[in-house]
Amino acid sequence: MKKKIAILGSTGSIGKQTLEIIRNDKKNFKVILLTANKNHFLLSKQIKEFNVKNVIVTNKKSFLILKKKFKKINIINSLENIDKILKFKLDYTMSSISGFEGLKPTIKIIKKTKIIAIANKESIICGWNLIKKEIDKYKTKFIPVDSEHFSIWSVIKNNSPREIKEIIITASGGPFFNLKNNKIKKTPKLAINHPNWKMGKKISIDSATLMNKVFEVIEAKKIFNLDFKKFNILIHPKSYIHSIIRFNNGLIKIVAHETDMKIPIFNSIYYKLNKNYRCKKININILNNLNFNKVDPKKYPTIKILKYIPNKNTLFETLLVSINDELVEMFLKNRISFDEISTKMNQIINSKLFRKYRLKKVNNLAQIEKLNEFVRLKTKSLSVISDIK
């Protein structure tokens, strides 16, 4: 029997790579549901190729175009009732809608799928306790897809947190790591030019500031239920090693793979199915020159944010994501400089207006959505961030 699949965010990078894997094994999979926002041209191709009968398109214009084009399939315009579309339980769902828009559908679809693979950082960072509650309630298998978290999960999934002494997450350092001339202007064009990965603009900027590693430590802390003190970050420009796990018994396990997101995606799709992935041979040249470096807080001031992260689930994580999103957008529009992303971030989170959220517990999705909207509005309205007292 074919495994029933849903892909939330099918026209994005992770969604497209998920479909590439399924394309090579169509006899074993049936795509039941696809969701997207604006890219109706690509979504139309996906619908035809995989004979998809259920589609959600959140952009009104794209929805109307596809509704007119595909009259015999179920196309709706909202993610609100995603769980009600599905009349049976899926075998696998890839949650790869970017940003806050991915949180609610991720939570809603958990009860309708046997496996939920999550590639959406915001969902885990802001709403992990809500996601975990649904996962436990419906006995859904969760697999993290981010390369660092998948590598950690693949090694420690059968270990108790008490057995773990330290987890090191690696960072490429971004395009400015080897920058010698400090007078060179760090433009959006230079900042999105990631040395190893093909990624979207937003995540590429986060990689350059190292904010993505701040987020990854938060994610890992939540997913693996470990204290923040057990996590460290090392700069590894080759991006070949994804994590290093040190156990209390003296063993150290290093997880390596090519800079290819298809590897964690493939392994999440074929979980427990023992399927071979066609990968390259081990790169001995890279192994002989791994070149690890400690993170310099002067070069990457965003790393200082980690000292403010509470050990409990609070609204502070939502605050961080919302502010960072807006500041990155300002930078991409040349409204602020690259270095101002981190300086203004620190100003805002330490302001009287926002400090209180470090202690406020996350109780429900509405809380997260309300704060996200408020923070974005406040950040957008600031011509000078330091005006916040």
Per-residue pLDDT tens digits for 45-101: 999 999 999 999 999 999 999 999 998 899 999 998 898 888 889 999 999 998 888
User: What residue spans define the domains of the chain?
Assistant: 3-144, 146-258+295-301, 310-389
Burial class of residue 305 in the structure, from the number of CB atoms within 10 Å of its CB (0-12 exposed, 13-18 middle, 19+ buried): buried
Residue 383 pLDDT greater than 60, yes or no:
no
CA distances from 151 to 2, 14, 180, 269 (A): 28, 17, 32, 15
Which pLDDT score is estimated for 296? Answer: 92
The tokens for 211 are 């904010």
Segment 112-128 shows an average pLDDT of: 94
Contact between 70 and 61 (Cβ < 8 Å): no
Residue 382 pLDDT greater than 70, yes or no:
no
Segment 118-142 shows an average pLDDT of: 95
CB atoms within 10 A of CB 361: 11
Ranked by mean pLDDT, the top range of 38-42, 188-192, 379-383 is 38-42
Segment 228-257 shows an average pLDDT of: 94
Which pLDDT score is estimated for 181? Answer: 64
The pLDDT-based confidence of 378 (bands split at 50, 70, 90) is confident
Which pLDDT score is estimated for 352? Answer: 86
Which pLDDT score is estimated for 388? Answer: 45
CATH C-level class of 310-389: mainly alpha
Question: Which CATH architecture is the domain 3-144 placed in?
Answer: 3-Layer(aba) Sandwich (3.40)
Closest by Cα among 231, 185, 191, 219 to 207: 191
Contacts of 118-122 with C-beta under 8 Å, sequence gap 24+, read 118/142, 118/143, 118/144, 118/145, 119/14, 119/94, 119/95, 119/145, 119/146, 119/265, 120/9, 120/95, 120/96, 121/146, 121/212, 121/215, 121/216, 121/219, 121/321, 122/98, 122/321
The pLDDT-based confidence of 389 (bands split at 50, 70, 90) is very low
| 311-358 confidence digits (pLDDT tens) | 888 899 999 999 999 999 999 999 999 999 999 998 888 888 888 888
Fold match between 3-144 and 310-389?
A: no
